[in-house]
Each structure stands twice: as C-alpha cells, then as structure tokens.
C-alpha cells in the first residue's frame, strides 16, 4: 500500500484551478473523478473532496451527485452561507443559550423522507425533535431525521445535553449539503413550540446532507419571528 503524501487541500485546489484557468480543463469539461485525482496527487480522497468543494463555493466548478465535477461554463460568485451552531448564533447575540431534547425515536423512513434522502422506504432513521432557546425565549425548533445506515452509532448517542447537529459535526461531519429556505405560517403545534400565535410568519430552513455520497440527514429548522439570514459574496 502506497502511503499518502502530506499534501494540503489548498495545494490540490490551486493546481486544479491553475489547470482550469490555463484551459487544460476548458469550460464545460468534466474533471477526473475524486479517486483519479487522489491517485494522481497521491493523497487522500477526502483532501480532493475538500479542494473541489472550495472551488464549487467559489463558483469555478459545479458538482452533482453521481454526475461528477464539471468546469462551469460561466464562472460565478456564490453567496456564502455559514452553517454555524445554533449555540454560537445565540451566544454571538450576547444571549444565554439553552437546549432541550423534546423527543427521539427510531422509526421506519416515511415515503416522503425516503424520496428526500434517497434511501429505501423501510430504512431505519433516528427522528429527533429539540428546542433551542435564547435567554429562555424560543429561538429555533429543530426536527431532524438521521440515516442509521450511514451513522449507526448515533442510535446510542446521548443527545440530552447537546443537539444532534453538534454531535454529528464531531462524529460524522457532512461532505455535501443542499439547503432550501421558505416562509411558513405557524400551525397550532408550531405556535405552541415557538411561543406565538397560529398564523405567524416564520423562516424555515431545510437541509439535506451527505457524507461521502451516502445520505446522512434531513433537518427542518424553524426560527423565531423576526429572524433573518445574512450571507457573504
């Protein structure tokens, strides 16, 4: 077995970018696979993955699951959205953070979730509902489904003191993600959790994540009325 060099993802990123800018890989062309690039650079595939993710964030390449990485025909700037821990967001507002685990159950994946995560309809998933507070006021309701085929150890994990997002970032960090935002009108259940009245408008974020192309989680986070999101270019 050949030992991998201690090559940084920045070096891989910069070399891939150089080849794109010098037209070795012209616009619209399909890049070699992560495995092929890892063999060429004699490094771990995870190093290549991170390098390509940064180039995708910069708008240089576009990545599609099961279709590979392609040089963008029209390189563009992307908004940068940071996935900060809710704890950090609250504390950055000089508020006291509190977390509460409401419910956790191992269930069989419902049809809509099987479609969302691309898992079998009878896949076992951990369903978690938890609340995040700022100065004892409802800040965010988090509802999350975790694919136990990808991260089986979470079934026995203690989530009573720290949320599932914090646990996953330490034990099984995601490599790819898709995010959607929408405005929702609170129903009676959501209004009760968030300490407001039915019909109140709120921002809801849905995030699907993968770990090395394996479906990891689907999470739905609903924020308190008045919450806003800021991005960087």
**3-class DSSP assignment, residue 227:** coil
For the beta sheet containing 124-134, the strands, ordered from the edge strand earlier in sequence to the opposite edge, are 97-108, 124-134, 137-147, 214-223, 201-211, 176-185
CATH class of the domain defined by 86-223: alpha beta
Question: Tens-of-pLDDT digits for all 233 residues of the chain?
Answer: 455 557 888 899 999 999 998 889 998 899 999 999 999 999 998 899 999 988 988 888 998 877 889 998 765 555 555 667 899 889 989 999 999 999 999 999 999 999 888 898 889 999 999 999 999 999 999 999 999 999 999 999 999 999 999 999 888 888 888 889 999 999 999 999 999 999 999 999 999 998 888 899 999 999 998 887 766 65
Burial status of residue 97 (CB atoms within 10 A of its CB: 0-12, 13-18, 19 or more)? middle
Domain ranges, ordered by start, for the chain: 9-71, 86-223
pTM over 0.75, yes/no: no
For the record, the structure tokens of 72 come out as: 């963008």
157: number of Cβ within 10 Å? 16
Domain 9-71 indexed as CATH 3.40.109.10: no
Residue 155 has phi, psi (to 5 degrees) of: -60, -35
């Amino acid at each position: 077995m050949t030992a991998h060099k201690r090559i940084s993802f920045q070096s891989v990123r910069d070399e891939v970018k150089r080849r794109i800018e010098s037209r070795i890989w012209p616009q619209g062309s399909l890049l070699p696979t992560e495995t092929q690039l890892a063999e060429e650079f004699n490094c771990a595939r995870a190093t290549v993955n991170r390098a390509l993710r940064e180039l995708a964030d910069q708008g240089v390449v576009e990545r599609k699951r099961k279709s590979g990485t392609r040089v963008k025909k029209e390189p563009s700037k992307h908004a940068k959205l940071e996935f900060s821990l809710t704890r950090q967001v609250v504390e950055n507002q000089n508020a006291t953070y509190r977390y509460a685990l409401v419910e956790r159950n191992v269930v069989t994946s419902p049809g809509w979730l099987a479609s969302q995560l691309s898992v079998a309809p009878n896949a076992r998933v951990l369903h978690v509902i938890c609340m995040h507070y700022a100065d004892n006021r409802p800040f965010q309701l988090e509802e999350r489904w975790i694919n136990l085929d990808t991260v089986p150890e979470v079934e026995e994990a203690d989530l009573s003191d720290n949320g599932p997002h914090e646990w996953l970032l330490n034990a099984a960090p995601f490599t790819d993600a898709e995010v959607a935002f929408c405005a929702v009108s609170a129903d009676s259940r959501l209004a009760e959790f968030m300490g407001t009245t039915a019909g109140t408008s709120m921002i809801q974020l849905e995030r699907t994540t993968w770990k090395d192309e394996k479906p990891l989680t689907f999470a739905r986070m609903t924020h308190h009325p008045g919450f806003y999101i800021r991005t960087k270019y």
